[in-house]
Structure 1
Amino acid sequence: MKTFRLVGLVLMLCSAGTLMAQEVIRTEHGVKLEVPGGTFRCEVQFYTPSIVRVVKYPQAEMPEEKSLAVVLAPEEVKFNVKVADDVVTLKSSELTVTLDKQGGTVAFADKQGAPLLAEQGAPSFKPCENEVDKGYYRVRQAFRLDKEEAIYGIGQLQTGKMNQRNQQKYLIQSNLEDSSPFFQSIKGYGLYWDNYSPTTFTDNTGGTSFDFEVGACVNYYFMYGGNADGVVAEMRELTGQVPMFPLWTYGYWQSKERYKSQAEVVDVVRKYRELGVPLDGIIQDWQYWGHNYLWNAMDFTNPLYPNPKQMLDDVHAMNAHMSISIWSSFGPATKPYRELAPKGLLYDFKTWPASGLDNWPPDPEYPSGVKVYDAYSPEARDIYWKYLGDGIFKYGMDTWWMDSTDPDHLDFKPSDLDQKTYLGSFRKVRNAYPLMAVGGVYEHQRAVTSDKRVFILTRSGFVGQQRYGSNVWSGDVGSSWENLRKQVPAGLNFSLCGMPHWNCDIGGFFAGQYNKSWNDGTAPKNPLYQELYVRWLQFGTFTPMMRSHGADTPREIYQFGKKGEPVYDAIEKMIRLRYSLLPYIYSTSWEVTHRQFTIMRALMMDFPADKNVWDMGDEYMFGKAFLVAPVLEAQYTSEKEVKVDEQSGWNRDNAGKAKEDVAGVDFTQKKSASVYLPEGTAWYDFWTNEKLEGGQEITCETSLDLIPLYIKAGSIVPLGPDVQYATEKTWDALTLCVYPGADGSFILYEDEFDNYNYEKGAYTEIPMAWDESSRRLTIGARKGSYPGMLESRKFTVRMPDGKEKTVNYTGKKVSVKL
C-alpha cells in the first residue's frame, strides 16, 4: 500500500507514566494507526465517498486475502483529515468517520454530522486453537445501535422475524437458512463484514455484535445510502450487479419430487397445453441418474430417460423450457467422483443421501459413499463443468437447479469443519460455499455462450451471489400455515441483503401430513391442503419466481380438480394474472439490473416514515405499484401441523396426521381479512378499483380466489396479452392501467428476452409519465433499438373508473388526456 505521513500527525502521548509515540499515517485511501499498547492496528479506507472499509488486526502488517464476495476496488476519493485531541476525523462528500486514537473505536455520521453507527469497545482476537486454523483468530466486534432502531437482513432465516433486533442467532448455511453477515438499518446505512466462517450474531441491551469463528482480522464495510434502496445499491456496487434473466423465467414453473421418466416430464407439459393453462418451465428433480451410488452423475444413466435430447426437443417443441437438478456432491460410481477423488477435491464428511439404496429408512449397512466436492478449488470447478457440459448442457438444457449448495451436512461434528479446502479450513470459508459453487457454473456457461442467459435456481445464498444469475429458494420447508407465514419475512430480509431473486416451494415441500397414506398422493383432494396450497400459490404469484414444487403429492393444476371447480379455478386465475403482469415484471427486472432496484420490497423501503411498517412481515410491495397482503391464516379449514424438518420430513409415519371432518367445507363462501395501508399515499383496490386513503387498517373481502391487492396512487401498470407461454405474443397491444392521485412514472423495457446482447445496448426503453394536475399521460420517445423490435404498437390507457383511450405509438412522443 502506498503511504505518506501527514505533517503534524506525529503526536507524543503520555500513558501510565511512560512516554509513547503514536503515529497517525495518511494512506492513499484513508488513515492507519496503532492503538496505545500495540494490541492492534486500525485502518480506515474510503472505497467510495459513501462506502468505508474498516480493518483492525493484531499483526504487524494488514493481512491481505482476495475477497470472495467484494468485487469493488477502492476509487480515488477526495477526503479531508483532521486531528483534534484524541480523535481523527475523516470527511468525504457523503460521510464523516471518526477514529478514537486511544481505543481504536470508529463511529460514522452523515455529511451533516448526524450519528449513524458507532463501535462499542475494542475488538476481540482469540487465537484459533485447532491446528488447521493456526495463525487465525476468533474475531468479535460490537456496535451500539439506537434503542428503537430497526435493522434487517442477516440472510434468509426461518424465524418469522422482520426486524432482526433482540436475538442471538448462529449463522451457518443449512437447508432452510441462508446466512450472510450483513444488516441494514432504518437509518439508511448498511454493514457488511467480509468473513465466511460460522458466526454468532447477537443483539441485546449490551450491544450488537458479530462473533466469527475464524478470521485474520476485523474486516467490515460501512455504507450509507440514505434509504433502503440506496443501501442495496451500495451493496451491489460492493459485491456485484444483477444480470438479466430470460423473460420466460418469470412465467409459471411446474415441478415435484420427482418426475420418474422422460415420458412423464413431456406428458406434464402436454397436459398443460391441452388444458390451455400457461406454463413456461418444467423441472426434473433427482435420480434421473439412477441409484444412489451414481448420485449426481450429471448424466442420464437411468434407463427411464433413454433419449434426453428427444426429451428436450419435445419440451421445446411445445414452447416450454426445462431445468434439471444438479448437486454439489457425487456418488462413488460416477465419473466426476473418480476424477476428483485422486486429486483430494472431495470432502470427508457425511452428506445426503445416507444410504446407497433407494429405500426408506436409510440402511447403514450400505452407506452411499457420496461426497461433497471442493467448490473453492478452480480445478474442481473446471471438472464440475466439464461433466455438466458433456453430460447435460449439450442436449440443450435451459437452466440449472443447483440443489444442496449449502451443502447438506449430516450428523454434523465440529471437527468436520477442520476439513481442508483449497482456501484453508472448511470452517474458515464455510458460509461462502454457495457463492463459489453457483459462481463456478455461471462463469463456465458464460464462457461457452452468450446466446442463452444463465439462470440458476439454488437452495442457498451468500452476499455477492446476485452477480451469478441465481434465484435462491428457501429450502425444504414443511407444509404448514406457520411455515407459509415465515416465508414472507424470510424473502424480504434476503432481498434487503442485495439479492433480489428469491422464491419458495409453493405448497411447502413436505406435504406428507396431509396425505391419507404415503403413496396415494391424496393431498390435492384434501380441503386442508387445498386451502393452504392456494394461499401459498397466491403468495408465490408475487415473488420473483412462481414455482410449484414438493414431495409426497403431485402439484400439477389438474391434480386439484377441473375447470369450474373453486380450487382449480383459483389456481388458474393466479397463473393467468402472473402472465398478464409479465411486461410489468420484466420491466421491473430491468430496474433491478440497470438501477439497482428490488422486486420484493419490505414496506419500510417505500414508507420509512411510517413506523407502523418497520416490523411488518406479512405485507410487502411487489415492484413500485403493488401492495401485496397474502392470506396467511386458514379461513375455510383449521390449521393442522405436524412439525417436520429436512430429515424427519422423509418419515412416512407423518402421513395422514392432518385429518378432520372436512365434509362441510364450502370454498365458495366470502371471507374477510385485515390490511394495513401505509400512510403518505392513496391506494386502489386492484379487484374493485375502490380508492382508499393510506395510514389506516381496513377490513376487506376475500374469497378462495382473491387476496388483498392494492395499487399505489400514481402507478402505471402495463398488462400483457393472454398467452400460453411468455413469448407467444408480442407486446403490440398493451393496456396501460393508470391510477391517479399522484404524479407517477414507468419505463417499459424490452429486449431479445434470452441473450446477453442487452449488455451491448440492444434494448429499448419507453418512458411513461402521469401528470396529476393536467390529468395527462405522456408516452415518451423510445430510447434504443434491437433487431426485431416492434416499430409500432397500440396502447390502451385505462383509468380506474373504466374510461379508456387507445393511441397508436410509433416510437415518438405522444400524450393522452383523461
Structure 2
Amino acid sequence: MKKYFINSVMLYLLLQIGIVSAYSQTAQVAAGVIKISTGEMDKFTPYGFCSEPPSKAALDKLPPGKLPFNIADIKISINKRGVVVEVPLDQSEQLYGFGMQIGSFNQRGLKKRPIVNDNPLNDLGYTHGPATFYVSNKGYGILINTARYTTFYCGSTARLKNNNDTTAVVKSGNSVEELYKSDHKASGYVTADIPGAKGIEVFVFEGPDLKNVMQRYNLFGGGGAMPAIWGLGVKYRVKADFNQNQVDKMAAYFRNNHIPCDVLGLEPKWQTAAYSCSYVWNKSFFPTPNEFIDSMKNKGFHINLWEHAFVSPKSPLYRPLKNKAGNYLVWNGLVPDFADTAASNIFANYHQATFVQYGISGFKMDECDNSNISFGSDTWSFPELSQFPSGIDGEQMHQLFGLLYQKTIYNIYKKLNQRTYLDVRASNAFASSYPAALYSDTYVHEEYIRMILNSGFSGMIWSPEVRESNSIKDFMRRSQTAVLSAQMLFNSWYLQNPPWLQINKEKNNNGELMDNAQAVEADIRKLLNFRMSLIPYLYSAFADYHFKGIPPFRALVMDYPGDKNTYNLSDEYMIGNGILAAPLTEKQDERKVYLPEGTWYDYNTNQRFEGGREYTIKPDLTQLPIFIKAGTILPLAKPVEHVAPDTRFEITCYIYGNADAKATLFEDDGITFNYEKGGYNMLNLIWNKNKGETRRDGKLKNTRYIIKKWQVIN
C-alpha cells in the first residue's frame, strides 16, 4: 500500500475541508489482526498500556479469517471536531460488545456511548468496562484504540447522498400509527464519533467465526487470565466494621459448619482512614494484623483487602505521590497518576512491602469508575478537566483508571510469581490477561445475568455478587447465578450474620435468625458444594481462555453464530465447552430454555432433549439450571471446604451420550506462573468403547487430579 506524507500546512487545509482519510496506513500486526492508522495518535490509549505481548504461536494456529468487506472500505476522516470511523455493515449483521454493557445485548440499531460510570443505568452505554470494541456474527471485530469518550451509531444513521436522486417514498395514511410509522432503513455502516482526536488506530480482528474473533482479541492482548485456583472457590466479604476477633469467629463458623470458603474479604474499617484511604492497619480493630493473616492462612483462608486509589493526607503514600497526582482531589485525597510508571511503582512498592509480603492474597479495588454521570448531584470523583503530570487528561484517565489500577496491583503478584484473583469496579480494552473480576453497586438480577454473557465479548471477568435479598427465593436464585459465574461471591459488608441465616437486614444485625435458618443453610451448602465440585472443569476452561483465547463464559451466539434463535438470547450462556446455563430470577418458578443443535441432558434429571427447540424447565432452589451437551465428559470433584496448595481432587467423570468422547483437564500448582514456563500437565480423559482411560502429558511432577470413577449418562 502506498504511504503518504503531509506537512502541517497541508494537514490544516485538509482539516478545514473535513477529511484526511486518504492518508491512512494499513499493516498486519499479527495473524488475523490488521491495524489501520491515520493522523496524529493519542499518547494514551488502551493498547498502549497493554503489557503482555501477543500470543503469537496461538494466533498462528487459528484458522485464517476472511472479512465480509474490503479493508479499504473502512472510512476514516479527520475534521475540526475530531475523528469519524465508518465500518461497513450488512443488513443481516448482528452486533455485540462495547464493553460490559448492562442494559442491552444485541447492539444492532442502537447508539452506544461506552463511558465509565459507577451506576450504569438507563442503557446509555455507560458501563464499568467501557471498551470501544464490538464484534459481528459475520466473523470480525473492530476496536477503536482510544481512551476518549466515543459514540457508536450501530447502523442507526443514514447519510445524505451526493447525487441527483431527489425521490423519496412518501406514505400517506389517516391513522396516528401510519403517520408515525417509519420505513427508514439505516445506512450500511457502524459510525464511531471520537471528538477531540487528531488521529486514530483501528484494530480489525478476523474470524472466520465469532468465537475465533474473540480468541484473536484475547490472544492479541496476551491470552486470557489464569486466576489462582483457590479464587474459583467461595469468597465472602465480612461486615465493614468487623474487628479481628469477629473475622476469626466468622472463619470458625464456616469451618465448624462445613460450608466451603476460600477467601475472606475485609471492608473499609481495617484502615485508619477509608474515604480517602490511608492504607494503614487500624490497630484498634486489627491489633496484630500479620499474626491474624498467618492464623487465617493456617485455617485455609486467603485475606482480601478493600481499598480505593484516592490517597488520604493521613497516608504514608501522600507525600511521595503529591507531585505525581492529578490537580483535583477526591474526598480530599490524591488521585495517583497511574499513567506514569514512577507513580504506579510507588503505589505498588508500598502495597508489596506492607501487605503482599505478609500474605495478603488480593485486593478489592473500589470507586475507580467515576461518579454517576446520569445525575447532576453525583460529583464525588475528579472532573474531566483534570490534568496529570504524565499529560493525560481527566476524560482519558477516567476511561483508563480502573485498567491502570488493576495493572498496578496485578504486577506486584506477577513480579513475585504469585497468582491472585482481584476485584475491581472498572476496566477497559485489552484487560484479558488480568485476573480481576468486575462488580457493580447496581443489583438488578436480570442485568447481572446479561453481564455474564457480555463479559465474553469484552475480555473481562464478571462477578454477579450476592448481597441483600427480597426473599429466600430471591437469595437462592441469586446464589445459583453466582455459582454459575466466574466468581462465587457473597458481599455481606452490612450484615452481622451470613445472609442465608437471616435475609432481613435489621433482624440480621440484631442477631435475630430466621426460624428456618438451618434449612436454608443446608440448601446453600448444597449449592456451594456443587461450586467446589466444578472447580477442575472451571479451571480448565480458564486454561483454554489463557492458551487459546476462548472465553470461559460466553453467549450462545458465540458458539452458534448461524442460529438466528441465539441472536437476542441474553439469559443463557455456555460455561466451557459442555455446559449450558439458564439461570432463573425471583420472578420465575419456571422458564423457557432454548437448546441449540445437538443433544442435551438436564443435569438434575438426566432427561434427554433434542436441540433446535425450546423447552420449559422448573428447577427448584437447590437444582442448578444447567444442561450438558452430548459428547461431554464432565469431571466433577468430591467437594472440599477450601483449596489448599496440596489439594488433590477426587473426580468422577460423567460421560453424556453413548458415543466415544474426549476431554482435557489442566493441571499445575495453581498458585504460581510456572505454567508460563511449561510447568503443567494436560490430563487427557478418554472414553472409548465403553472404557475410560487417562493420559498425562507435561512436565509437572505432582498431580492434582485423581480419577476415581467413570459414569455414563444415556
**Structure 1 length-normalised TM:** 0.73
Instruction: Give 1:459's aligned residue.
Output: 425
1:656-671 residue pairs with structure 2 within 5 A?
Answer: 671=589
Instruction: Give 2:560's aligned residue.
Output: 607
3-state DSSP class of the match of 2:708?
strand
Instruction: Give 1:170's aligned residue.
Output: 113
Q: How many residues align?
A: 644
Gaps of 5+ in 2: 6-10, 58-62, 120-126, 157-185, 373-377, 503-513
Instruction: Give 1:536's aligned residue.
Output: 478
Instruction: Give 2:102's aligned residue.
Output: 158
Equivalent AA in structure 1 for residue 278 of structure 2 = A
> Residues 197 and 429 of structure 1 are in contact (CA less than 8 Å); yes or no, is this contact kept in structure 2?
no
Map Cα deviations across residues 92-117 of structure 1 (whole Å, 9 max, x no partner).
x946xxxxxxxxxxxxx54xxx5388
> Residues 47 and 73 of structure 1 are in contact (CA less than 8 Å); yes or no, is this contact kept in structure 2?
no
Instruction: Give 2:142's aligned residue.
Output: 191
CA distance in 2, matches of 1:166, 1:675: 26
Alpha-carbon offset, residue 552 of structure 1: 4.1
> Residues 348 and 409 of structure 2 are in contact (CA less than 8 Å); yes or no, is this contact kept in structure 1?
yes
CA distance in 1, matches of 2:232, 2:277: 27
Would the alpha carbon gap of residues 318 and 259 (structure 1) be closer, same or farther in structure 2, given more than 3 Å must change?
Answer: farther
3-state DSSP class of the match of 2:83?
strand
Q: Which has the higher strand share?
A: 1
Map Cα deviations across residues 759-803 of structure 1 (whole Å, 9 max, x no partner).
2222111112445xxx4455342101324336x9443110125xx
> Residues 272 and 279 of structure 2 are in contact (CA less than 8 Å); yes or no, is this contact kept in structure 1?
no
Query: Greater Rg, structure 1 or structure 2?
Result: 1
Residue of structure 2 aligned with 1:383, choices 346, 354, 357: 346
Instruction: Give 2:48's aligned residue.
Output: 68
Alpha-carbon offset, residue 212 of structure 1: 1.9
Alpha-carbon offset, residue 706 of structure 1: 2.3
CA distance in 2, matches of 1:94, 1:732: 38
Map Cα deviations across residues 13-57 of structure 1 (whole Å, 9 max, x no partner).
xxxxxxxxxxx3499xxxxx9999984411111113411111222
Alpha-carbon offset, residue 627 of structure 1: 1.1
Would the alpha carbon gap of residues 728 and 234 (structure 1) be closer, same or farther in structure 2, given more than 3 Å must change?
Answer: closer
Alpha-carbon offset, residue 747 of structure 1: 0.4
3-state DSSP class of the match of 2:405?
helix
> Residues 569 and 705 of structure 1 are in contact (CA less than 8 Å); yes or no, is this contact kept in structure 2?
no
Equivalent AA in structure 2 for residue 115 of structure 1 = F
Alpha-carbon offset, residue 428 of structure 1: 3.7
CA distance in 2, matches of 1:534, 1:676: 23
Residue of structure 1 aligned with 2:618, choices 693, 701, 723: 701
1:233-272 residue pairs with structure 2 within 5 A?
Answer: 233-272=215-254
CA distance in 2, matches of 1:339, 1:63: 28
Residue of structure 1 aligned with 2:333, choices 370, 373, 398: 370
Q: Are 1:126 and 2:80 counterparts?
A: yes
Q: Are 1:398 and 2:312 counterparts?
A: no
Map Cα deviations across residues 417-461 of structure 1 (whole Å, 9 max, x no partner).
3423514322244312222111122223322x21x2133211111
CA distance in 2, matches of 1:672, 1:489: 18
Instruction: Give 2:672's aligned residue.
Output: 755
Alpha-carbon offset, residue 120 of structure 1: 6.7
**Structure 2 length-normalised TM:** 0.83
1:628-643 residue pairs with structure 2 within 5 A?
Answer: 628-635=581-588
Alpha-carbon offset, residue 486 of structure 1: 0.7
Alpha-carbon offset, residue 681 of structure 1: 0.5
> Residues 540 and 666 of structure 2 are in contact (CA less than 8 Å); yes or no, is this contact kept in structure 1?
yes
3-state DSSP class of the match of 1:532?
helix
Would the alpha carbon gap of residues 383 and 730 (structure 1) be closer, same or farther in structure 2, given more than 3 Å must change?
Answer: closer
Q: Are 1:345 and 2:325 counterparts?
A: yes
Alpha-carbon offset, residue 65 of structure 1: 7.0
3-state DSSP class of the match of 2:591?
strand
Instruction: Give 1:785's aligned residue.
Output: 699
Alpha-carbon offset, residue 620 of structure 1: 0.8
Once superposed, what is the RMSD of the aligned Cα atoms? 3.1
Instruction: Give 1:495's aligned residue.
Output: 456
Instruction: Give 2:595's aligned residue.
Output: 677
Instruction: Give 2:711's aligned residue.
Output: 798
3-state DSSP class of the match of 2:131?
strand
Structure 1, 230-239 or 411-420: larger mean CA deviation: 411-420
Instruction: Give 1:51's aligned residue.
Output: 33
Equivalent AA in structure 2 for residue 299 of structure 1 = V
CA distance in 1, matches of 2:116, 2:445: 21
Alpha-carbon offset, residue 157 of structure 1: 2.1
> Residues 69 and 463 of structure 1 are in contact (CA less than 8 Å); yes or no, is this contact kept in structure 2?
no
Q: Are 1:231 and 2:213 counterparts?
A: yes
Instruction: Give 1:442's aligned residue.
Output: 410
Instruction: Give 2:550's aligned residue.
Output: 597
> Residues 224 and 542 of structure 2 are in contact (CA less than 8 Å); yes or no, is this contact kept in structure 1?
no
Structure 1, 117-126 or 566-575: larger mean CA deviation: 117-126
Alpha-carbon offset, residue 709 of structure 1: 1.5
Map Cα deviations across residues 286-314 of structure 1 (whole Å, 9 max, x no partner).
13113457x32112035111111121112
Would the alpha carbon gap of residues 192 and 559 (structure 1) be closer, same or farther in structure 2, given more than 3 Å must change?
Answer: same
Instruction: Give 2:161's aligned residue.
Output: none
> Residues 63 and 216 of structure 1 are in contact (CA less than 8 Å); yes or no, is this contact kept in structure 2?
yes
> Residues 717 and 737 of structure 1 are in contact (CA less than 8 Å); yes or no, is this contact kept in structure 2?
yes
> Residues 449 and 464 of structure 2 are in contact (CA less than 8 Å); yes or no, is this contact kept in structure 1?
no
Identity %: 22
Would the alpha carbon gap of residues 436 and 717 (structure 1) be closer, same or farther in structure 2, given more than 3 Å must change?
Answer: same
CA distance in 1, matches of 2:295, 2:56: 51
CA distance in 2, matches of 1:231, 1:404: 32
Would the alpha carbon gap of residues 243 and 144 (structure 1) be closer, same or farther in structure 2, given more than 3 Å must change?
Answer: closer
1:266-305 residue pairs with structure 2 within 5 A?
Answer: 266-292=248-274, 295-305=276-286
Instruction: Give 2:163's aligned residue.
Output: none
> Residues 600 and 622 of structure 1 are in contact (CA less than 8 Å); yes or no, is this contact kept in structure 2?
yes
Alpha-carbon offset, residue 376 of structure 1: 0.9
Instruction: Give 2:509's aligned residue.
Output: none
Instruction: Give 1:570's aligned residue.
Output: 523
3-state DSSP class of the match of 1:215?
coil
3-state DSSP class of the match of 1:68?
helix
3-state DSSP class of the match of 1:299?
coil
Instruction: Give 2:301's aligned residue.
Output: 320
CA distance in 1, matches of 2:433, 2:368: 16
Q: Are 1:419 and 2:387 counterparts?
A: yes
Alpha-carbon offset, residue 543 of structure 1: 0.7
Would the alpha carbon gap of residues 143 and 487 (structure 1) be closer, same or farther in structure 2, given more than 3 Å must change?
Answer: same
> Residues 112 and 151 of structure 2 are in contact (CA less than 8 Å); yes or no, is this contact kept in structure 1?
yes
Equivalent AA in structure 2 for residue 502 of structure 1 = W
Alpha-carbon offset, residue 119 of structure 1: 4.8
3-state DSSP class of the match of 1:544?
coil
Q: Are 1:430 and 2:347 counterparts?
A: no
Q: Are 1:486 and 2:486 counterparts?
A: no
Gaps of 5+ in 1: 1-5, 7-23, 28-32, 77-92, 96-108, 128-137, 352-367, 512-522, 636-670, 802-818
CA distance in 2, matches of 1:149, 1:72: 31
Larger RCO, structures 1/2 (Cα 8 Å, 6+ apart): 2
CA distance in 1, matches of 2:296, 2:638: 23
Instruction: Give 2:539's aligned residue.
Output: 586
Instruction: Give 1:805's aligned residue.
Output: none
Equivalent AA in structure 2 for residue 439 of structure 1 = K
Equivalent AA in structure 2 for residue 68 of structure 1 = G
Equivalent AA in structure 1 for residue 146 of structure 2 = N
> Residues 501 and 517 of structure 2 are in contact (CA less than 8 Å); yes or no, is this contact kept in structure 1?
no
Would the alpha carbon gap of residues 318 and 122 (structure 1) be closer, same or farther in structure 2, given more than 3 Å must change?
Answer: closer
Alpha-carbon offset, residue 495 of structure 1: 2.0
3-state DSSP class of the match of 1:424?
coil
